[in-house]
Structures are given as C-alpha cells and as structure tokens.
Amino acid sequence: MKTVDAKKLETSSQSNLLVLALMAFGVATFLAGLSVDPHHTWFSFLVCHTFFMGLGIGACFILVIHYLASAGWIIVARRIFEAMASYIPVAFAFNLLLFFGLKKIYPWTDTVYMQSDKILAAKIGFFSFPFYAARVLFFFVITTWLSQKLICNSTAQDKEGGVERTNKQKPLSALFLVLFAPSFTMFSVDLVKSLDPKWFSTMFGVYMFIGFVQASVAAAILMIRSLQHHGYLKELTDDHFHDLGKYLFGFSIFWAYIGVSQYLLIWYANLPEETTFYLARQVPGWVFVAISLPLFRFFLPFLMLLPRAAKRSCAYLAFVSCIVLFGEWIDLNYLIMPTFSPDGFRVGWQDFGLFIGFFGFFLFFVRRFLAKQATMPVKDPYLHESLHHHVM
C-alpha cells in the first residue's frame, strides 16, 4: 500500500517577499503606465488579465470533465487544478477594474464610430454598457459560484471523507457545462472579439476556450514539476505525466483544427465583414507573428510529444509546457494588440511589468490555496485508483 503525502505547502519568508515584490512591481507599472501612456497600458492589462484568467477557467473545465467522466487517475493531481481555479474570483475583480478602461480599448464605446456604418449601428444596443456589464457579470457570477462550489466540496471531503461530496460533484459539473458554454461564448466576444465590432466569427468562443484549456494543462505540469522538486506530490508517476502529456498533445491538435476551420470558413465565404480580421494581420509587422503562432501552438508541441517516452518525462514535458504557454501569450497578443498597434507587433515596458505583476497575483493565490489545503485530496474514496494508475 502506498503512503499518501498529505502535507500542505510550506512557503518561506523569502519566497513570500518575492511574490509580494512581483505584485508591487505590477501595480507600480500599472499606475506609471496610466500616467504616461494609458492607451498602451490598458491594452497590456487586457492581454495579461486574459492570459492568467484563462489558466483558471481552463483548470476548472479540466476538473468538470473528469468529474463527469468519473475519472480516477487524475485525483492525485486534482488539487493543482483546484488551486488554479481558485484564481477565478480574483480574475472577476480584475475584470471589474477593466471597466474603467473600456473607452481606451473598445471602439464600440465611441458612439460616432458606431453610427458611421449600417452594420455597426445595428449593434449599438448590444454594445450598450448596461447590457455589456450584465453579460460579463452573469458569466463571472455563474463561473465563480460553480467553481468555488466544486472546490469547497473537494476540500471539505478532506475532513469528512465518504462519498457524499463526490456524488455532489457530477450534477454540479453538468450544470457548469450547460451554463458555461453559452455564457463563455458571449464573454469571449465581449472581451476580445468586440475589439473589432464589425467582425463575425461563429468559432471564436471555441478558439479562445481551447487555448485556455491547453495553457492550463501546461501550467499544471510546470507547477507539479516545481512541487516535486520541493518534495511534494511524489505519488505522481510517469504514468500520470503520460496522460497529462497526451492532453497537451491532443489539445495542440484541437487548437490547430479550430484555427484552420475558422480561417477556411472565412476564406471560403470571402465576406468583407469577416475578412477584416485576417487582412489587419497580413501587414508586414504582423505577418511574422501569424507565422510563429502555429509553430509554438501546434507544430513544436505536436512533433516534440509524438514519441511515447517524451510524454513520460516530467522535465521534458515542463520544457514543452513553456513553449505552449509562450504560444498562448503570442496568441493573445495576435488577437488583441493589432487594434492598438495596427502597423506591427511591439512590446513595451508596460507589457513586461504588467505580466510580472499578474504572475505575482496568480502565484500568490495559488500558493495561498495550497498552503491552506493538503496538496492531495487525501480522503477521496477513489484515491487508490489514482495511486495505482498504470498506462499500457
């Protein structure tokens, strides 16, 4: 019988100070950016906020699909995904802060611009601030409540044991999927696609969603690698990493499938209100980003994870995960920043400073969660299935 590591994360005072310094650096960058170049600062804020929010949302989806499938193998690693999902309420707060920068980011806040075109004029009611705010609040209230309910059931089981909490997770997960699919589609349109309010895409919500899920798996692998280096989660074996690697591999293929499908639908229809998105990204300053995007998000992960042995090495998976996360950051810049910098991709001090700050906030809340809870759901009734997981 394998012993179970029920330790909580122990953080040193030096690491705590480092995380606080990262957060303070981000706040200082944000305030300085607002005074120097608020336009660029708010766009950088949107990119960084979307990146780290996506890790939380993607992690929550991973939890949900495993509860619905009654999958036992992931239980040993489940607390890592719960820690990332615990960031969702923080992302909610940052999205409320984003409301103060709407006029610096979104063209639809300009009434004159919206009335200049017949198609845009028909969308004025949809993009009115009260209706926009109501959609965003609905998404976050639903996602925050359900995700925290799932997490609370899991952590409460550490004290209570039994199967009662486990039995509650499946109906909650089903409800989450039913509400999440339409609300996230609207939210992704509001958050990113509305930067070009004239553009149409029926696949944009799925494109954003699969990017979040792929990135969350990559982030989880990196966290597990770090925790094992410090003596935690030793129960995770090469077999667990094999399955996580298969997720990273499979979601890379799915991302490419959705991206190509969206492009082909728009190319085939050749409608002016749809082609504007790609035309804006075919200028010389953005072409190299468009070329590098499939390299980091599909070709490199796909080729590097083809061998079976590649998916069974934690260190190797961590390297591929860094590539995937870099690709996600490039992807969000490709989606968002052409509205700010139509002539080409450029990175300023605001981008680096705010990314460091958001990373600090994300790290702070993930570490706080793991410091309060055992790094493994020790009383899950199916934990033995995960501890004895083997891949043929």
Lowest mean pLDDT among 217-226, 243-252, 330-339, 374-383: 374-383
Q: How far apart are CA 137 and CA 95, in angstroms?
A: 9
Phi, psi of 242 (to 5 degrees): -60, -45
pLDDT in tens, 9-19: 998 899 999 99
What pLDDT was estimated at residue 5?
A: 52
pLDDT in tens, 322-356: 999 999 999 999 999 999 999 999 899 999 999 99
pLDDT in tens, 281-316: 989 999 999 999 999 999 999 999 999 999 999 999
> At CA 24, angle to CA 21 and CA 29, rounded to 5?
125
For residues 272, 337, 287, 331, the Cα torsion angle rounded to the nearest 10 degrees is -100
Q: How far apart are CA 81 and CA 62, in angstroms?
A: 7
Q: How far apart are CA 197 and CA 188, in angstroms?
A: 12
Q: How far apart are CA 238 and CA 245, in angstroms?
A: 10
Q: Please give the residue that has the higher pLDDT: either 271 or 246.
A: 246
Using alpha carbons only, how large is the chain's radius of gyration in Å?
21
Q: How far apart are CA 151 and CA 157, in angstroms?
A: 10
The reply to whether the predicted model has a pTM over 0.85 is: yes
What does the DSSP 8-state code read for residue 388? T
Quick one: pLDDT band at residue 6, thresholds 50, 70, 90? low
